[in-house]
A = this chain, B = another copy of it.
């Protein structure tokens, strides 16, 4: 039987050109985050299925690649439903594994613990252009830091990295789950309908304020609540300092400390940033994951429609594993989108080594071959990339191909040394 040449549906092979860019970007990310005191860690790609299906992951839990039990544990005849057949799954993000990791190893880790994770995640999403079922995520997280120093450091580290990769003129949008809730409470929505309201609010980018208004009314919410809610957004747009306006309007619905902390994050970041971007308050920012408890943020690139990454505070997730909550905050870069943008802009990896090709005619004597290889070894020591290959019959074509591949120096070795 002939074998299938294609990768599995929705996943992709990475060709050398893209790989060069990926390796370079990974290097920049590791170096930059390292300067901020983040240390690399890794967790297995497979997690216990129970950990992946405990409602922390929202919609992603529907997209898990599940792993069949093995050996005696697999009892096909007795299996009544899917969960009888599987014991593991491929991780759909790096946050659930990180929290499990921290819960297991907290005693061996510093406080606060600043983690950098770069790894693949899998989601059985409908395949579409530029979106794959296996993709790299790049997360930084700070565990054990209750103050907004976590948010400030995360945003500075992420934006410094983006700046070093050549990105500029972008925005970081920031919001607070507690502001979202205060706005809904102030407007008179019932607490159990908050999530419904936020899902509609999240469409603001696409359907605008009027669209949100129409959808809320259509979904049967009281006109009075919808009016009050929309008035908040309209008033804010017209005011100079949106956050101050909102805090005043919301009054006791919003804890004063929430506003102060958010204000401090924005001022410290905007006054110490090293990249060209702006951190702006955006009360329409929702973010889907159900585990967020405080600040939430997202990268908006002008060149790219959707979000290029995001994160937030999730102070109650460690408690699901250990029974004791630990403050936690993270920021994830949309690694694949970054790569896509760089490739589309014809990005070239800086400072590549000199490339030389040694072409050896077939039949060259053993002693001569040894000399050629020794010469290649010498050049490699001095930093040159040396390819030692057999000379093709069509040497001209071979050299043209090598030139295309970046080789600039050629040396030729013949069976008859006088040639």
The answer to whether A239 has its CB under 8 Å from any CB of chain B is no
The answer to whether A15 has its CB under 8 Å from any CB of chain B is yes
Q: Which residue of the partner chain, among B54, B86, B87, B109, contacts A16 with CB atoms under 8 Å?
A: B109
Report how far A90 CA is from B388 CA in the complex, Å: 34
Report chain B residues within 8 Å CB of A353: 34-35
Q: How many residues of A contact B (CB 8 A)?
A: 106
**Given A3-B100, A68-B66, A264-B366; A145-B45 close (CB under 8 Å):** no
Report chain B residues within 8 Å CB of A35: 353, 380, 383-386
Chain A, residues 160-190, CB within 8 Å of chain B (1/0): the string is 1000000000000000000000000000000
**Given A3-B100, A5-B322, A323-B2; A366-B267 close (CB under 8 Å):** yes
How far, in Å, is A17 (CB) from chain B's closest CB? 9
Report how far A297 CA is from B108 CA in the complex, Å: 40
Q: Which residue of B lies closest to A153 (CB)?
A: B388
Q: Say yes or no: A13 contacts B104, CB within 8 Å.
A: yes
Report chain B residues within 8 Å CB of A393: none
Q: Which residue of B lies closest to A381 (CB)?
A: B274
The answer to whether A377 has its CB under 8 Å from any CB of chain B is yes
Report how far A362 CA is from B70 CA in the complex, Å: 53
The answer to whether A50 has its CB under 8 Å from any CB of chain B is yes
Report chain B residues within 8 Å CB of A20: 39-40
Choose the segment among A205-213, A280-288, A367-375 that binds chain B (4+ C-beta atoms closer than 8 Å): A367-375
Q: Say yes or no: A44 contacts B8, CB within 8 Å.
A: yes
Q: Which residue of B lies closest to A317 (CB)?
A: B3
The answer to whether A346 has its CB under 8 Å from any CB of chain B is no
Q: Which residue of B lies closest to A68 (CB)?
A: B66
Report how far A7 CA is from B14 CA in the complex, Å: 29
Interface of A is mostly: mixed
Q: Say yes or no: B100 contacts A4, CB within 8 Å.
A: yes
The answer to whether A401 has its CB under 8 Å from any CB of chain B is yes
Q: Say yes or no: A272 contacts B374, CB within 8 Å.
A: yes
The answer to whether A112 has its CB under 8 Å from any CB of chain B is yes
How far, in Å, is A146 (CB) from chain B's closest CB? 8
The answer to whether A289 has its CB under 8 Å from any CB of chain B is no
Q: Which residue of the partner chain, among B19, B40, B322, B386, contacts A19 with CB atoms under 8 Å?
A: B40
Report chain B residues within 8 Å CB of A54: 1, 3
Q: Say yes or no: B387 contacts A37, CB within 8 Å.
A: yes
Q: Which residue of the partner chain, among B103, B147, B380, contacts A36 with CB atoms under 8 Å?
A: B380
**Given A13-B44, A353-B34; A377-B156 close (CB under 8 Å):** yes
Q: Which residue of the partner chain, among B4, B41, B147, B160, contacts A51 with CB atoms under 8 Å?
A: B4
Q: Say yes or no: B390 contacts A147, CB within 8 Å.
A: yes
The answer to whether A82 has its CB under 8 Å from any CB of chain B is yes
Report how far A110 CA is from B357 CA in the complex, Å: 13
**Given A15-B108, A41-B15, A44-B11; A145-B4 close (CB under 8 Å):** no
The answer to whether A271 has its CB under 8 Å from any CB of chain B is yes
How far, in Å, is A23 (CB) from chain B's closest CB? 6
Q: Say yes or no: B66 contacts A67, CB within 8 Å.
A: yes
Q: Which residue of B lies closest to A39 (CB)?
A: B16
Q: Which residue of B lies closest to A47 (CB)?
A: B8
Choose the segment among A73-81, A240-248, A306-314 that binds chain B (4+ C-beta atoms closer than 8 Å): A73-81
The answer to whether A65 has its CB under 8 Å from any CB of chain B is yes
